[in-house]
Each structure stands twice: as C-alpha cells, then as structure tokens.
Amino acid sequence: MNGPGEAGVEAIWGDGSGWGDAWPAPAKLNLMLRVVGRRDDGYHELQTVFQLIDRCDRLWFDVRDDGRILRVGDLAGVPEQHDLTVRAARALQQASHCPLGVDIRCHKYLPMGGGLGGGSSDAATTLVALNQLWGTGLSEDELAEIALPLGADVPVFVRGRAAWAEGVGERLDPVELPEPWYLVLVPACAVSTKDVFSHPDLTRDSNLITLADFVGGDAVNDCLPVVRREYSEVGAALELLAAWGGRLTGTGACVFAVLGSQDDALGSLAQLPSDMAGFVAQGRNRSPLLDRMDAESLVKTGRC
C-alpha cells in the first residue's frame, strides 16, 4: 500500500483486462469534523470540510441488454446485495426506468472502515458512469438526490468538488483549498461509524463555526477522542504523525498529516515502521471522476 496516489501514477486508468479504461473513485479526507447537534431521527448534524485526494479505487462497467446488475469478483465481507455499487446501479435503474443492466468490476485500493469514503465513492462513480453509459441523462442534482439514501458522503463524490458541508453532510458548498501533499496512515483496524456516533462520550454540542474559522486553523475532529480511546491502533498511528500535527479523517481509522512537498511525504513514508501501512497522495479540489466523465462525453460526441 505504500506509494503515491494511484491517480498520480497512472494518468490512463489502468489495464481493465479487456474492459476498457477504468472509472476512478477517489478517496476523501475530512479536514475537520464538528458534531453540532442530534436530530429527532437519530442522525447527527455536522460541519465538515471534504477534500478529495488522488488515491482511488478503480471500476469497470460492461453494459448488458438483459437488465441484470451483477458484480464480477468478490469483495471480502460484503455480500453482492449489500455492495454499494450494486445498490447504486439498481437505484439509478429504478429512478430512470432504464431497461439496461451492467456487470461491475471493482479494484479496491482504499481500505474499508478507514474514513476515506471508499464505498461511498464507489457508489458515486457507479451513478456517474452509468448515467453516461446507459444514456439516462440525469442532472448532477438528480444524481445527488439518488445518492443521498445510499450514504451521507455519496453526494460529495457525485458532485466531485472539495466542499464545506453541513446537515448530515448533504448541504454542500464548493470551496477552493490548497492542494498539499498528504501522508496518510492506515492502522490495522476498521472503525465502525455507527459505533462512534452512538458512543455516549461523543461530543454532540460543538459550536457552529464558519469557513473563515476553519481557514484560520480551527480543524477539530469531534470524533477523535472516542476513536483514540476505543482503537489503540489509531492512537499509535497519530503518535507517528505527532511532529506534523496528525489528524483523523471522518470517524477513522485513517490519520493524515500535511507535508511540505511530495519528496517530504515520500521521505517520511519511507521512515515508517514496517508494520504501519500508509501512502502519499495529493489533495484535489476537482475529482478525477469529472475528468473521466468529460473524456467519455468527448468520445460519444466524436470530438476526440
């Protein structure tokens, strides 16, 4: 897992073994996360800042004429009917009344339970790609509406831009942020988001802040005390990043630090203990998924 972001090392999205070019599903980092309230339905009101990074899962789609939606290959611990890519395809098929189906293949680079949004990003890429490949013609807003029931993070990946987020994470305002190099560590544990948000010690009444407050340095993650207490592996990873002010993304388990350059990040990665997995990636304010979508559009219109 050690190395640069996958998008950074492969400009053309890899060998699909006859399936054509892949569609990227980028990871995200939560650069801060505040829990500012709890709704009557049990969901939490949040403030957070999402930035995409160039570490991505890769997906391939083979359109079928018979309407069947199938996953090709296994995903450890995730039955096909629960796979977010399959659920996303079925949701789009139902919403658009599309008679077509698809075979879906996913190559995972993002850890599960790591707070990087891998499953949500895979679902978003499925919606965006199939909207193109099936020719369903839905708008970004319509895709985001289909995305939200699949998970609170899915709309941000559909829209594909760094964002200030509120509500349960669905109210998004695009932001322009620096695009630094990050060193991301992947502790050997999977954190349950449900368990973190149901923990009695979780702070649920943080004060609201503004984007200016965040830019000025207010980058607290309210989930950190609970996660650090319950998952010793996360605490150990944060200790390795202490010199750079390591932070937790989402509910974890992954932690990250901003480094001055790619060389700095790679040098620090090389000094990690052999039992600590990690990678280097660059922040992105625009998703590589949008670039892939634009490329597909050019092919369809015969402009390339």
For 65-98, what is each residue's pLDDT tens digit?
999 999 998 887 888 999 999 999 999 999 999 9
Residue range 188-195: mean pLDDT, rounded: 93
Percent of the chain with pLDDT over 70: 91
Flag whether pLDDT at 51 surpasses 80.
Answer: yes
Mean pLDDT computed over every residue of the chain = 91
Q: Where are the chain's structural domains?
A: 6-301
What is the model's pLDDT at position 74?
A: 84
The answer to whether the beta carbons of residues 182 and 256 sit under 8 Å apart is yes
Note the pLDDT tens digit of each residue in 129-179.
999 999 999 999 999 999 999 999 999 999 999 999 999 888 999 999 999
Please give the backbone phi and psi of residue 134, each rounded to the nearest 5 degrees, phi first. -85, -15
Can you tell me the distance from the alpha carbon of 248 to that of 261, in angstroms, rounded to the nearest whole number?
20
Run of H or E including 59: strand 44-64
Catalytic residues, which ones?
A: 28, 153
> Residues comprising the binding site for ATP?
111-121
For the domain covering 6-301, report its CATH number.
3.30.230.10
The answer to whether the beta carbons of residues 286 and 277 sit under 8 Å apart is no
What is the model's pLDDT at position 77?
A: 82
Run of H or E including 215: helix 211-215
Can you tell me the distance from the alpha carbon of 13 to that of 32, in angstroms, rounded to the nearest whole number?
30
> Residues comprising the binding site?
111-121
Residue range 208-236: mean pLDDT, rounded: 97
Flag whether pLDDT at 114 surpasses 60.
Answer: yes
- With H, G, I as helix, E, B as strand and everything else as coil, classify residue 42: coil
Angle ∠(205,223,196) on CA atoms, nearest 5: 100
Q: Which residues make Cβ contacts (< 8 Å) with residue 53, sequence separation at least 6?
A: 5, 26, 27, 28, 29, 182, 184, 281, 282, 283, 284
Angle ∠(246,182,13) on CA atoms, nearest 5: 145
Note the pLDDT tens digit of each residue in 200-219.
999 999 999 999 999 999 99
Least confident of 48-52, 72-76, 146-150, 237-241: 72-76
**Virtual torsion, Cα 117, 257, 254, 210, nearest 10 deg:** -50
Question: What's the predicted TM-score (pTM) here?
Answer: 0.91
Can you tell me the distance from the alpha carbon of 249 to that of 224, in angstroms, rounded to the nearest whole number?
9
Residue range 253-276: mean pLDDT, rounded: 96
What is the model's pLDDT at position 18?
A: 58
Least confident of 38-52, 129-143, 277-291: 38-52
